[in-house]
Every structure is written in C-alpha cells, then in structure tokens.
Amino acid sequence: MFYWVMKRIFLGPVLKLLFRPWVKGLDNVPESGAAILASNHLSFSDSIFLPLMVHRPVIFLAKSEYFTGKGLKGRLTALFFRLSNQLPMDRSGGAASEMSLQAGRDVLNSGGLLGIYPEGTRSPDARLYRGKVGVARLALQTRVPVIPVAMIGTEKVQPIGKRLPNIRRIGLIFGQPLDFSRYYGMEDDRLIQRAVTDEIMYELMRLSGQEYVDEYAAVVKAQLAGKGPEPVHRIEVAEEAAADVAEDIDDPRSEGTGSAGTL
C-alpha cells in the first residue's frame, strides 16, 4: 500500500513534474510475468526513478548496508527501503549472498519484476564497470528474460556524496528483452555465467553510451580510498582467473608456447 500511495499520489507526481523524465522502450517491459530489470547504476536516485516509470511494481535487491544503519537516520533509511519494495542484498559472499539471491529467485518464481544492478555498486565516475555474475545466475536458474535498462543523467541529479538533488531532466532507455534459453541447464558453469553477464553489460554500454571499464566498480572505489577490495570481489577475481586458466588448458587452439609455458 505504501509503495502504491507514494508512487501514484504523493512522491511520483512531484518527481515527474520536477525532473520531467523521458522514457524509450517502455513497451519492452512485459505486462505480466517474471523478468529481471538489469540497470546501470549512476546514482542513489536510480532506485527511485526506475520503478517510478514502470507501471508494475519493481522489487530491488539493494545493498544490505541500507538496512543496517544506526541512529534515527539509519532506522528511517531502513524503513524507507523496506516500504519501497527493496530487499537487502548481502555482498559478503558465501552463504549470505546465496540467501540474498534466493530472495530474488522467490520474487521471480512468483511472477514479479526484479530490479538489480549488475555492477553491484554505484559507478564512482559515471563509467560502466564489470558486472557481477549474480544476475546471470538468477536469469538462468529462474529461466526469465533480462531487460537492460540505461539510466541517463542521474549522476548529475544526485552525485555521490550530495544530499540535495539538482533539478534537471533525466532519461531511461529500456532495451529489448535478452533471451538466454540457449544456456538453460548450464547455470552452474562459471564461464557461462560470465558470458551471460558480459552480454548484459554490453547491452547496457550500447544503450547508455557509457565508457566501459573491465574492472569491478567496488575494487576501483577501494583503490581510490586506499583500501583493499571486499572479500566477495577477491573471491570472484580468483575464481574467474582460475576459470580462464582452465579454458586455456582445455582449448587446443591456444597459440604461442601453450598453456604450460604461460603457467
């Protein structure tokens, strides 16, 4: 009820009047049935504008830190996220992340729309960063289409660290649904997960016009802050490096001195 009232009566009309969002390809979102809306992530306000322009309710996987803040501000933020159809996504890896993905599977298995940011965090510089494979796992396990969504200009409305938004026009582009049925039954294959994720990120790059960076945004943020990457990113990098080595070993077409020389 809160979600509908805020979207239709209070917050929605005001935001449309102030920011005059333009939309392309909205008819690519199905009127019924499950689908994943995979979006680039430029601003905190992405989670407001995207569901605002979609007629159906959109449930987002949001980082768990939004639900665990302390003090009055933290409790109010957590309350807002829960009331606005958002679910906590634990990014620490292992069983915790798997439970978060299960919540996403439940949404899709019930026929809902699930919003997810494959980059895992907001872009630090408005470029598009490498996607994490959770979106591929969800798409392949639930066998639903993925609709790429490009947010345009939201980083200028609310840059990172800025509390009050700038009033300016923003845009959204909904791409054609991506069908990954050719990979059904191979959802546990790490190389397939990476191929699906990279295809989604390519579509986001094409729709948004962003420069693509083949690194995780969270790793780049950590480097900028002088810190090491979060554990989940270290795990993913190690797993994918191992998968790349295994692919080279198995591929008889490898050039040069061969995989043994490379190792």
Q: Where do runs of H (alpha helix) occur along 160-230?
A: 190-208, 217-224
In this predicted structure, what is the pLDDT of residue 69? 77
pLDDT score recorded for residue 236: 55
What is the distance between the alpha carbons of residues 234 and 253, in angstroms, rounded to a whole number?
29
Stretches in the chain below the pLDDT threshold 70:
1-2, 66, 89-97, 228-263
Fold exhibited by the domain 1-212: Glycerol-3-phosphate (1)-acyltransferase (3.40.1130)
Q: What is the pLDDT of residue 91?
A: 60
pLDDT at position 231 = 52
pLDDT digits (tens, 9 = 90+) for 154-184: 999 988 777 788 999 999 999 999 999 999 9
* Separation CA 213–CA 221 (nearest Å): 13
pLDDT at position 90 = 67
CA distance 52 to 59: 12
Distance of alpha carbon 105 from alpha carbon 112, whole angstroms: 10
What percentage of the chain has pLDDT greater than the value 90?
59
Spatial separation of the C-alpha atoms in residues 180 and 144, rounded to whole Å: 8
Cα separation, 126 vs 252, in Å, equals 40
| Amino acid 225: pLDDT | 86
What is the model's pLDDT at position 253?
36
Burial (Cβ within 10 Å: 0-12, 13-18, ≥19) of residue 96: middle
- Give 6: exposed, middle or buried? Use CB within 10 Å, 0-12, 13-18, 19+: middle
